[in-house]
């Protein structure tokens, strides 16, 4: 079984679209879905109630939300799915049948808009993943259960938890970069400006690699 762990906060507009098509797999015990809410003030939980197996509540922060979801998960594979990212049933079945030695990995990425700037952005994200062997949370990271427990889950960081867990996992094994694209929302780039958001993320990662604490970086991430 695949345990799909979805950290969310105020995602009522995305939850139904991104989880409703997975219900047949859920019904046949191919997957379970665990929603971990980080303090939503909209109808996220109400919309999700009939689409998931468990709803958990905690303080916001993807690291803690995903670790809490994993703590009750029953599957042998943990799949960490952002609420604004769409994964197909075919992609999930691929994960289900993955070879046992492929203990972790992630998908390539596309954005939900066909503008040329987003095609260019996704191309460079995917190229970066191929060169440096790491993915971000939007790329839907999967981790074999025993390996996740061995490394004690996501590090307790306010942001960059996806980058850090990939760094830890790379010491054990190279990732499987699945030659298939999940579709994620362009909303952050739309809201804050395309170039501005790219530069902001580059600067934050640069500062992170130079040791700036993530609780400080978090103030500028929002």
- Look at residue 222 and tell me whether its pLDDT is greater than 70: no
The residues, any chain, with a CB within 8 Å of residue 52's CB and separated by 6 or more, are 6, 19, 33, 34, 35
Write out pLDDT tens, residues 162-193: 999 999 999 999 999 999 999 999 999 999 89
Backbone torsions φ then ψ of 158, nearest 5 degrees: -75, -40
Give how far the C-alpha of residue 152 lies from the chain's centroid of Cα atoms, to the nearest Å. Answer: 17
Write out pLDDT tens, residues 25-72: 999 999 999 999 999 999 999 999 999 999 999 999 999 999 999 999
Write out pLDDT tens, residues 103-158: 999 999 999 999 999 999 999 999 999 999 999 999 999 999 999 999 999 999 98
- Look at residue 82 and tell me whether its pLDDT is greater than 90: yes
Domain range 2-186, its CATH number among 3.30.40.10, 3.90.550.10, 1.20.58.220, 3.40.390.10: 3.90.550.10
Residue 129 has a CB neighbour count (10 Å cut-off) of: 20
Give the pLDDT of residue 208. Answer: 84
- Look at residue 19 and tell me whether its pLDDT is greater than 70: yes
Give the pLDDT of residue 217. Answer: 79
How far from 78 is each of 2, 61, 137, 147, 186, CA to CA, in Å? Answer: 6, 18, 13, 10, 25
- Look at residue 211 and tell me whether its pLDDT is greater than 90: no
Q: Which of residues 215 and 98 earns the better pLDDT score?
A: 98
- Look at residue 221 and tell me whether its pLDDT is greater than 80: no
- Look at residue 219 and tell me whether its pLDDT is greater than 80: no
Give the pLDDT of residue 84. Answer: 96
Give the pLDDT of residue 197. Answer: 92
Beta carbons of 205 and 163 less than 8 angstroms apart: yes
Domain boundaries, the chain: 2-186
**Burial classification of residue 31, based on how many CB atoms lie within 10 Å of its CB (0-12 exposed, 13-18 middle, 19 or more buried):** buried
Give the pLDDT of residue 179. Answer: 97
């Amino acid at each position: 079984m695949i345990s799909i762990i979805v950290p969310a906060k105020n995602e009522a507009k995305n939850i139904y679209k991104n989880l409703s098509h997975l219900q047949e797999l859920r019904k046949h015990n191919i997957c379970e879905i665990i929603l971990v809410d980080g303090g939503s003030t909209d109808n996220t939980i109400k919309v999700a109630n009939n689409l998931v197996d468990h709803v958990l509540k905690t303080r916001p922060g993807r690291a803690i939300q995903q670790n809490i979801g994993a703590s009750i998960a029953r599957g042998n594979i943990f799949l960490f799915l952002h609420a604004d990212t769409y994964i197909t049933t075919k992609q999930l079945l691929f994960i289900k049948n993955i070879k046992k030695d492929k203990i972790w990995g992630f998908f390539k990425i596309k954005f939900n808009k066909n503008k040329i700037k987003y095609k260019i952005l996704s191309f460079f994200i995917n190229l970066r993943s191929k060169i440096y062997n790491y993915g971000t949370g939007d790329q839907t990271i999967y981790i074999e259960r025993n390996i996740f427990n061995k490394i004690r889950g996501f590090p307790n960081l306010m942001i960059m938890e996806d980058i850090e867990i990939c760094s830890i996992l790379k010491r054990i094994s190279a990732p499987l970069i699945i030659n298939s694209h999940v579709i994620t929302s362009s909303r952050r780039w739309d809201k804050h400006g395309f170039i501005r958001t790219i530069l902001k993320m580059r600067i934050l990662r640069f500062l992170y690699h130079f040791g700036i604490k993530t609780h400080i970086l978090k103030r500028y991430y929002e």
